[in-house]
Amino acid sequence: MKCTFCGEKIKEGTGMLYAKKSGKIFYFCGSKCEKNMLKLGRKPVKIKWTKAGAEK
């Protein structure tokens, strides 16, 4: 499974799952990714340390 925000592989038994009321499911490798996406509303493409941002 991969982190929804940064794209890193999540080891089995770790990470967080977040489900919205709409039914969309997000997987996060840590609180850093969770905060950037949900609380701060950032897009992975604009962040340099994510895989999507590094490809830019």
Asked if 15 contacts 3 with a C-beta cutoff of 8 angstroms, the reply is yes
Nearest Cα to Cα of residue 10 among 18, 24, 38, 21: 18
Q: Give me the pLDDT at residue 42, please.
A: 96
Q: How many CB atoms lie within 10 A of CB 18?
A: 13
**Is the full-model pTM beyond 0.75?**
yes
Q: Give me the pLDDT at residue 23, please.
A: 97
Find the mean pLDDT for residues 5-33: 96
Architecture of domain 1-56: Roll (2.30)
Run of H or E including 17: strand 16-19
**Residue 44: DSSP 8-state:** G
